[in-house]
Amino acid sequence: QQQVKQSPQSLIVQKGGISIINCAYENTAFDYFPWYQQFPGKGPALLIAIRPDVSEKKEGRFTISFNKSAKQFSLHIMDSQPGDSATYFCAASLTGTASKLTFGTGTRLQVTL
Amino acid sequence: EAQVTQNPRYLITVTGKKLTVTCSQNMNHEYMSWYRQDPGLGLRQIYYSMNVEVTDKGDVPEGYKVSRKEKRNFPLILESPSPNQTSLYFCASSLSYTEQYFGPGTRLTVT
């Protein structure tokens, strides 16, 4: 059972454009929603995270939008750069369940010149 | 340098030959996990550990074993590997349920 559904599977964006990746979750008890970025040959690394008490969190060019009623959250990458080309994973977890992250299936982003 | 290390990074083995993938962290983290990454399936948790001698199953534990005898080490054991365990494996550690720090990965091929 896929508890976190992620789309699209792949995405091609021109340099300077906006990249948008969407995730939907099923378990309403989830209360921590991170995004991880993975470059080829490397392990995933935390990019940005949000809790359901806020609807948006911004860090530089990266923004998470959270819609609790729709059980959806998304990652927006503004002014996308070739260096942003990577695979992005959304995830979700429950408070008190340490290390129990449930990941989406990943989105491979390619930013072209 | 704070890091999670895994060994080996690449491994080709045959069906049924027991193997161990080691994982070590130098950040004094209580929590450690193992994940496997497969195309189209994302990252799936195999096992996790909340502290020494405390482990629990993740989403895909069949065919795997773990142990946590020391805080810094969390080896993944495949007693009798099968081709469906061919995958990219990641170890991760964290202080709590927030940021997890991932190792560089171990690419395993079982023929």
Tally A–B CB contacts below 8 A: 73
Q: pLDDT tens across A50-78, in order?
A: 988 899 999 999 999 999 999 999 999 99
Name the percent of chain B in helix, strand, coil, to the closest 5.
5, 50, 45
Pairing of strands A10-14, A107-112: parallel
Residue A96 binned pLDDT confidence (cut-offs 50, 70, 90) = low
- Which of A99, A101, A102, A105 should we substitute to test contact with B (largest number of B Cβ atoms within 10 Å)? A99
Retrieve residue B10's tokens: 């690449």
> Rounded to whole angstroms, what are the CA distances from A7 to A10, A15, A108, B111?
8, 20, 10, 33
Scan for tokens 């059972």, then name that residue: A1
Q: Which residue has the higher pLDDT, B24 or B50?
A: B24
User: pLDDT averaged over chain B?
Assistant: 94
- Sequence letter at residue B87: S
Q: How far is A98 from chain B (nearest CA, A)?
A: 4
Is A98's pLDDT higher than 80?
Answer: no
